[in-house]
């Protein structure tokens, strides 16, 4: 089984990057999961690319928001 993963982070600097969103899709299946970490990072924590391109796309999927400490249980279930 293949699971495709897509993530967005606040920036590319590994020391300062924070997870913004996570998407998982199972190949040859209808199983998928999309999570937006809440609370979202502040604008100041985000690179210009993330501010201009990623942040405007957030909030489009009801129920996608999830506190980071609950992400594991959403992924497992």
What does the pLDDT read at residue 14? 85
d(C-alpha 54, C-alpha 24), whole Å = 17
How far out from the chain centre does Cα 23 lie?
6
Neighbour order of strands in the sheet with 65-67: 3-9, 19-26, 32-38, 65-67
Strand-pair partners of 2: none
Q: What is the pLDDT of residues 30-42, one digit of tens each?
A: 899 999 999 999 9
Q: What is the pLDDT of residues 49-68, one digit of tens each?
A: 999 999 999 999 999 999 99
């Amino acid at each position: 089984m293949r699971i495709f993963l897509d993530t967005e982070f606040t920036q590319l600097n590994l020391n300062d990057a924070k997870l913004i969103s996570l998407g998982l899709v199972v190949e040859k299946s209808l199983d998928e999961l999309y999570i937006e970490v809440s609370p979202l990072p502040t604008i100041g924590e985000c690179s210009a690319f993330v501010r201009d391109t990623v942040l405007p796309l957030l909030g489009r999927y009801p129920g996608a928001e999830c506190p980071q400490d609950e992400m594991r249980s959403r992924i497992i279930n």
